[in-house]
Amino acid sequence: DTAVSQTPKYLVTQMGNDKSIKCEQNLGHDTMYWYKQDSKKFLKIMFSYNNKELIINETVPNRFSPKSPDKAHLNLHINSLELGDSAVYFCASSQDDRDNYGYTFGSGTRLTVV
């Protein structure tokens, strides 16, 4: 049973295309996140949703739009893809009691824009 699952695992697409990455968690967590890991392995938060409500929206281009249809899902849609969007995108989740359980990460989606 995968706790936080992302699809697809790999995504290769051309500049200018629109693509989506899906994330689902079966942990019953209240909060979900999107993180971007660049080529230097640096991890930076992009968005956070708590019970379908947007909590964090970092300085991310508005070509990126998260959508949370319910507490267990947080999808990421990217319009007009650019070369600089190439990265690994991680979905994560946490419950309010993150003191004990921390954050659980998905396996990542490697996006390559050509």
Partner 1 sequence: ELKVEQNPLFLSMQEGKNYTIYCNYSTTSDRLYWYRQDPGKSLESLFVLLSNGAVKQEGRLMASLDTKARLSTLHITAAVHDLSATYFCAAYFGNEKLTFGTGTRLTIIP
Name the region of 80 (left: φ>0; alpha: ψ -120 to 50; beta: rest). Answer: left
55 near partner 1, judged by CB under 8 A: yes
Of 21-29, 61-69, 77-85, 100-108, the window that binds partner 1 (rule: CB under 8 A) is: 100-108
Q: Please calculate the CA angle 7-10-12 and round it to the nearest 5 degrees.
A: 120
The answer to whether 53 contacts partner 1 (rule: CB under 8 A) is no
Under the criterion CB under 8 A, does residue 86 sit at the interface with partner 1?
Answer: no
Residue 89, beta-bridge partner list: 36, 109
User: How far, rounded to the nearest angstrom, does the alpha carbon of residue 104 sit from its chain's CA centroid?
Assistant: 12
By CB under 8 A, residue 1 contacts partner 1: no
List residues near partner 1 by CB under 8 A: 31, 33, 35, 41-45, 48, 50, 55-56, 90, 98-108
